[in-house]
Amino acid sequence: MQVQSEWDGLEPVAQRLDRLVLRGRPSDPALVDRQGALDYAGLDEAVGMLAAHLAARAAPGDRIASWLPKTRTACLMALACARAGLVHVPVNPLLKRQQLAHILADSGARLLVTQPARAALLEPGDVPAGCTIAMEAELGSHPSPMSPSSGDTDALAALLYTSGSTGRPKGVMLSHANLWLGAIAVAHYLGVTPEDRTLAVLPLSFDAGLNQLLSTWAAGAAVVPLDYLVAADVVRAVERHDVTVMAGVPPLWLQLAEAKWPAETAARLRILSATGGRMALPLVRRLRSLFPQASLTLMYGLTEAFRSTRLDPALVDSHPDSIGRAIPFAEVMVVRPGGRLADDDEPGELVHAGPLVGQGYWRDTERSALRFRPAPSASRLGGMAVWSGDTVTRGGDGLLRFVGRDDEMIKVSGNRVSPTEIEEAAMASGGVAEAIAIGVPDERVGQAIRLILRGDGDSARLLAHFKAALPSFQQPRELVWVAALPRNPNGKLDRAAIAREHGAREHDA
């Protein structure tokens, strides 16, 4: 059976993305940043002025890249490009000039919006022929702001480039409808209201980071963008701006769980969400203890489908190992290798169908054909689906549980071992803050498990824990303790970098 969405039977109603700001009440705050507060009427006008500037420099359908911290311009770019009939290409400000150069060339960007300090880092050849640079200071007021438009909701609105942990970044094509419905769905199931304030800490080039803005504005609430250096910056921002809503990836939530939170500051938060990887059970319990008054939603998402599942906050305490059920507008299936639906508790590939599915990878028909394929015959919605490559199970209760990615599974003596399961067992020991399991070649068993860890360094206790908790083929061969684990620009643990560093050398347990 499929995993049913809470909005089954609801006809999805999409609009063009540039009309999203019209959902807010004109005098309510929409954006609070270093320049001050901007209400929805002001946001609409600012989007219109930026759109007019961009339209004067590019033709409809052109790709417009932005390489900016979370400035006001960066926050408005998605809506302004949509209003001008352009395609936004947000570039993570943490990326280096070589990565930026690849994205500019691959997207065929017509314009790069950035700042003088960043432009000074570029070298000849980084900006391809036909692409010009505009400083964000040039894109201020305009005498003729553009009005919200109407048109094809399936038109391309954004290219979101993946982090590139497994090769060159690829651009996921998302339409107005994809982004609009993703915003409506998240605003709905999180329960965001016009009185809320969202602290936008995730990169705006990340699908969940962009959704921070769009779902908040879909609910008529206010966004507070923040570029932070340490967890204490986030705590101070929650206090200073009376923040009530925040989304994060697991490594960020781990930092925040270790930070010092005054009780009155922690009590301000009422909606928390996590995406971008499994949340370890000790971390979930720590957040529930630290923010007992807040709802905690655990989410699973694909850039190719924007969002896919979420676990109802009411089930977090009893089912913290689950990624939940399909979100509004999503049909999620667990599919066997032959294309038939899996039985309860049988591992299968997570396949997502419905109007949140993107349009493929930009100018990459080969990789698009691998990931974007017709939905299984049992699908209710049919059409094109995202075949995630992620292995999950569905319990008799209808809840999904993540097993691992096919390309990350470790093969030990013919047994398929999920890195996630080993990592969660390590976290459950109580002495580990972060863990990544990788497979290394072994002549006797095919692959052996090497576990890279940040924590107290007590190998003897951890090995005793594994002996009691896991079967023999899941026992790590080696433990490697490190002071820090690398992260990719979206804040997730960088498995590829960790595998490159630790996959070939021998270490002592």
- pLDDT attached to residue 413: 67
Query: Which superfamily, per CATH, for 409-502?
Result: ANL, C-terminal domain (3.30.300.30)
For the segment 276-326, what is each residue's pLDDT rounded down to a tens digit? 877 888 899 999 999 999 999 999 988 999 889 999 999 999 998 899 999
For the segment 185-200, what is each residue's pLDDT rounded down to a tens digit? 999 999 999 999 999 9
Q: Where in the chain is the domain with CATH 3.30.300.30?
A: 409-502
Q: Beta strands of 169-302 (E only): which ranges?
A: 171-175, 197-200, 222-225, 245-248, 271-274, 295-300
For the segment 56-74, what is each residue's pLDDT rounded down to a tens digit? 999 999 999 999 999 999 9
In this structure, what DSSP letter does residue 375 have? P
For the segment 101-110, what is each residue's pLDDT rounded down to a tens digit? 999 999 999 9
Is residue 164 very low, low, confident or very high in pLDDT (cuts 50, 70, 90)?
Answer: very low
Residue type, 90: P
- Domain 176-358+367-404 in CATH 3.40.50.12780? The answer is yes
Q: Which residues pair with 299 in a beta bridge?
A: 310
Is residue 435 very low, low, confident or very high in pLDDT (cuts 50, 70, 90)?
Answer: very high
Q: Which of 426, 422, 427, 392 is nearest to 406 (CA)?
A: 392
Task: Retrieve residue 427's tokens.
Answer: 């976290």
Is residue 416 very low, low, confident or very high in pLDDT (cuts 50, 70, 90)?
Answer: low
Mean pLDDT of 320-333: 94
Token pair 């850039």 in the structure block, residue: 303
For the segment 221-248, what is each residue's pLDDT rounded down to a tens digit? 999 999 999 999 999 999 999 999 999 9
Q: Beta strands of 230-340 (E only): which ranges?
A: 245-248, 271-274, 295-300, 309-311, 325-326, 331-335
- The CATH architecture one would assign to domain 38-150 is 3-Layer(aba) Sandwich (3.40)
Distances (CA, A) of 98 to 95, 167, 283, 312: 8, 14, 36, 41
Q: What is the mean pLDDT of the chain?
A: 91
Q: Where in the chain is the domain with CATH 3.40.50.980?
A: 38-150
Is residue 508 very low, low, confident or very high in pLDDT (cuts 50, 70, 90)?
Answer: very low
Q: The pTM is what?
A: 0.84
Listing DSSP states for 152-187 in one string gives -TTSEEEEEE---TTSS--EEEEEHHHHHHHHHHHH
Q: Beta strands of 228-342 (E only): which ranges?
A: 245-248, 271-274, 295-300, 309-311, 325-326, 331-335
- pLDDT attached to residue 415: 67
For the segment 372-397, what is each residue's pLDDT rounded down to a tens digit? 999 999 999 999 999 999 999 999 99
- pLDDT attached to residue 166: 42
Q: Where in the chain is the domain with CATH 3.40.50.12780?
A: 176-358+367-404
